[in-house]
Chains A and B, each alone.
Chain A
Amino acid sequence: MPKSKAVKRSQPRERFSYDPTKVLSKLEEYGRRVLEDIKSGKNPYFDIPMRGLSNVYFDEKRRVIKMGDKLSRRYFLNVAHARKFMQTLLIMAYVKRLVSEGKHASLREAYYANKHTIPGTKENTFEDQRESDPIIEDLERMLGVLREEMHLTADRRGYIYGDIVIRDGEDEFNTSKLGMGGWAVPGTVEHLQFVEVNVDYALVVETAAMADRLIEEKFPKKENALIIATQGQASRGVRRLIHRLHYEEGLPIIVFTDGDPYGWYIYSTIKQGSINLAYLSEKLATPEAKFVGMTMDDIERYGLKNVTEKLKGIPPNKKGGPTGDYKRIIEEMNYPWFQNKEWQRQLQLALKMGVRIEQQALANKSLEFVAKKYLPEKINNGELLP
């Protein structure tokens, strides 16, 4: 294996920052403010940054999707707000208990724990998890802390495999010594500490099938890489883990997805963040991530034409178009972070060829092809998309 690699680890830029007392003091500060307002005869309120497309923008300098400064004020003495005001305080008190007791709860547990009938009425504090989830999101934006920092977790998805040593609570382990399945990424990665990182870069893989293939082919060992399987759209835990590995450990991030609009969107989310979680971009996004494949060029270059699939929907030049995949490609072409020659060329090519190509299509060459030739060649030569 050539030692002169195009991707190199760089210096760490962020430090391990998990600090539960920060969350607690913020919660207490907000509680005190409400209490002071009511004591002095003022209508207490919370200022919550607004969600939605109207309040996000692309920060050109930091190259991430960020939340605007539009606020919505939630008053206690307002018929339309009172219930949510109560719910916000309820969750805040719950979070305080969770964090101070060092326990974690899932979103569903948080919902059930706080759901009860309000005395003297037939009304419940929460009728549905669809009421509690947005309150938790509101708190993240309002307090500027992650849900994970509030010890509220979502379902876990994704796993990692590679020569790094992680301390998770009382356990310490090397993620390449846990069997072929690697280590499942938990909902909350805040408290994880990276004891040893003996890899040169992290390869983020869209499908579990491809990640399994690479592990079986011993790609992580040979290439000194960490495999991170997202299993579709990357979960918050995985995105946060990628962010932390990049900023705290200086690991280059290379993303390997299908060559289709969905795969490119997964890349886009890891890189720039998402509209939904724009307020967390600073903590979740990794703008310096690079893209290894699949690209439209790969079809020609590796002779994969016969294993492509047709794009779904109506092309833009046809009547009724564009729809389906074509429509999404055109949307992506308009993303500010895809405003560069390379990406525009890829997306144009996709529209022109009208095909998509999956990671697994590389198996058409041979099972080892992806691990022995495709990835090492492209990564070590630096043939990556920005």
Chain B
Amino acid sequence: MAEASQLFKEFKIQSVSEFFRRNAAMLGYTGKIRSLTTVVHEAVTNSLDACEEAGILPYVRVEIEELGREHYKVIVEDNGPGIPEKFITHVFGKMLAGTKAHRNIQSRGQQGIGISGAVMFAQITSGKATRVITSTGGDIIEAWVKIDVDKNEGKIVKKEKHPNPKGWRGTRIELEVKNVRYVRSKQGVYWYLKLTAIANPHAHIELIEPDGKLIVFPRSSEEVPKPPVEMKPHPRGVLTDDVYRMAKKTRRNTVRRFLIGEFSRISDKKVDELIKYIAALRLIKTEKDKAVQDQLYERLMNGEVDKVLRSFKGYTKVVKQVAKLMEKPPEKLSWHEAEEIVEAFKYMKFLAPPTHGLRPIGEENIEKGLKGILKPEFVTAVTRPPKVYSGGIPFQVEVGLAYGGEIGSGFDLLRYANRVPLLFDAGSCVTTLAARSIDWKRYKVDDLERAPIVLMINVISVHVPYTGTGKQSIANVDEIHNEIRLAIMDAARRLQTYLSGKHRRLYQVKRKKTFEKYVPEIAKALSILTGEPEEEIKNYFLRFIEERFAQSEVEAEEVAENA
């Protein structure tokens, strides 16, 4: 048996960067095609977020240059606000750093490991530093960034400053990556950018493929989406650890003030209520009879907190104790007390969380995006009002439906979470499950697999419940499933209306043809009977049909409007 000291010889503290270096799959770097898509995704996401926060209409250009076998240079350039010189190492070199990760806010990206993950991936596959060229309007900074894996720190290998006579502003990054492959598949860069363009109609996105082909996804909306706003956490959505850590960091001087100030939907009155609930829970725990205990928990759940309290002798004393807790400085809050607070939250009723932090794409913009990129003959979009899952996490569902036109036959589902396209693990995703659960025949779509339909689903939330670390599949949460279904059905109903109208028009065309095909025969016969020239008779009939159908078209449309 080995001695502990022997075993611990190999003990080493691993940095976050080191951890992710070894577990690149968790960041989306699995597979040769997907890895390249992930690199592009991280860069493009950063560009879009930066532009939005700065209120700039994004212009993003992606260039993939083939340097050798499974060896590419990825260049992403934007017209964003640029990165101040001193932040370059932080942005590209340090993981778990960023402008959003520590805030309760809807975001495209991950927890600040996105672009640094890409820099890391470039570094460990090609050994090359990432070249960053950026300007906030002043000098142009050109820097080569690497990550010091051991220290989880970015370091600038080389830096140059250039004058900026034309006042260029933006960021261009160049990453050299190996062990990846560019393929125009549904999981590749092209498809990813196409989907991104659909969900971000305000962005102009260009792609230069390795063979030099330029693909442009033009902007179809001039409106920059408002950046998401920070939201205070809702009491139903927090864990003990959240409360404990927030309490340590707060600047408020009592627990009561802390709760009111840092959570949404907690008022002075709610804190008074909270006191009673905590007291009740403490008292219930003293009850020895398990059956009675269960009964009391149930009554508490039903809101009978006062009755539950009164069933204990000397309950006022306990209430006073708990009340004292609320007046102590928050940094003195113990783990156990934080646990009590979170447990009491579960029994209490709160208003649904505010939803002003959610930033849907919006029906109009979804339609613009689908129309601009897919060129369908029919498009509609539904943005559902915000809802809550797990009792306290707000979310919102949007659905866009495009039909026909340049869309080829075959059903396509475009999945998004906070506007970010999800390209992998479609099978178990709630979006797929919900889309498949619809009885499409009811909406005049007889064979979904062969219908020229593109359905896009965007799930928006501060906290999207992904199924795995890859963040490519949304968990099948009942509330979300339900909302997606309702949104699809709403859109499908509009499609149905369109299709019935279309069938009617097709039927009219067919009808017209029926009459027209007999005209030559009729003209010949009438010419024999009356002696008038055949051609003239033919024209009389054709003109007559034309007039009648012009009339009926007007009638049909009037009917449709009234309906």
The interface of chain A, by Cβ under 8 A from chain B, is 27-28, 30-32, 34-35, 38-39, 41, 43, 76-77, 79, 82-83, 85-86, 89-90, 92-93, 96-97, 118-121, 123, 125
Contacts and interface: CB of A to CB of B under 8 A. Distances in A.
Given A35-B537, A43-B548, 18 more contacts: A34-B526, A38-B537, A38-B540, A38-B541, A38-B544, A39-B540, A43-B544, A82-B514, A85-B518, A86-B518, A86-B521, A86-B525, A90-B521, A96-B529, A118-B517, A118-B520, A121-B517, A123-B517
Contacts of A96: 528-529
B511 to A, nearest CB: 6
A118 B521 contact: yes
A117 to B, nearest CB: 11
Given A35-B537, A121-B517, A93 B532 contact: no
A25 to B, nearest CB: 11
A80 to B, nearest CB: 10
B522 interface: yes
A90 B227 CA distance: 74
16 contacts: A28-B529, A31-B526, A31-B530, A32-B530, A35-B537, A35-B540, A38-B540, A76-B515, A77-B515, A82-B514, A89-B521, A89-B526, A90-B521, A96-B529, A118-B517, A121-B517
Interface string B303-314: 000000000000
Nearest to B530: A31
B548 A77 contact: yes
Nearest to B545: A77
A120 B517 contact: yes
Given A31-B529, A35-B532, A35-B540, A76 B522 contact: yes
Contact of B528 (A32, A41, A93): A93
B67 to A, nearest CB: 60
Interface string B511-551: 10011011011101110111010000100110011011000
Contact of A30 (B520, B529, B545): B529
Nearest to A27: B529
Contact of A119 (B520, B537, B544): B520
Contacts of A31: 525-526, 529-530
Contacts of B524: 93
A79 B547 contact: no
Nearest to A119: B520
Contacts of A39: 540
Interface string B492-528: 0000000000000000000100110110111011101
The range of chain B's interface size is 20 to 34
Given A38-B541, A92-B525, A83 B530 contact: no
A270 B521 CA distance: 39
B529 A92 contact: yes
B347 to A, nearest CB: 69
A32 B525 CA distance: 12
Given A38-B544, A41-B544, A89 B515 contact: no
A102 to B, nearest CB: 17
Interface of B: 511, 514-515, 517-518, 520-522, 524-526, 528-530, 532, 537, 540-541, 544-545, 547-548
Contact of B529 (A86, A89, A120, A121): A89
Contacts of B544: 38, 41, 43, 77
B375 to A, nearest CB: 32
Contacts of A121: 517
Contacts of B518: 82-83, 85-86, 118
A119 B520 CA distance: 8
A86 B530 contact: no
A79 B544 CA distance: 15
A97 B525 CA distance: 11
Contacts of A35: 526, 530, 532, 537, 540
A90 B518 CA distance: 11
A35 B517 CA distance: 18
A43 B515 CA distance: 12
Contacts of A30: 529
A38 B540 CA distance: 6
B514 A79 contact: yes
Contacts of A90: 521, 525
A199 B334 CA distance: 137
A97 B531 CA distance: 12
Contacts of B520: 118-119
Contacts of B514: 79, 82
Contacts of B541: 38, 76
Contacts of A28: 529-530
A93 B520 CA distance: 14
Nearest to B507: A79
Contacts of A86: 518, 521-522, 525
Contacts of B529: 27-28, 30-32, 89, 92-93, 96
A41 B541 CA distance: 9
A85 B522 contact: yes
Contacts of A89: 521-522, 525-526, 529
Given A38-B544, A79-B511, A97 B528 contact: yes
Nearest to B537: A35
A118 B537 CA distance: 17
A86 B518 CA distance: 6
B241 to A, nearest CB: 73
Contacts of B530: 28, 31-32, 35
Contacts of A43: 544, 548
A83 B522 CA distance: 10
Closest 6 interchain pairs by CB? A31-B529, A93-B525, A89-B525, A93-B528, A86-B518, A31-B530
A119 B541 CA distance: 17
B440 to A, nearest CB: 30
Interface centre among A39, A96, A97 (most CB of B within 10 A): A39
Contacts of B548: 43, 77
A83 B515 CA distance: 8
Nearest to A123: B517
A136 B309 CA distance: 99
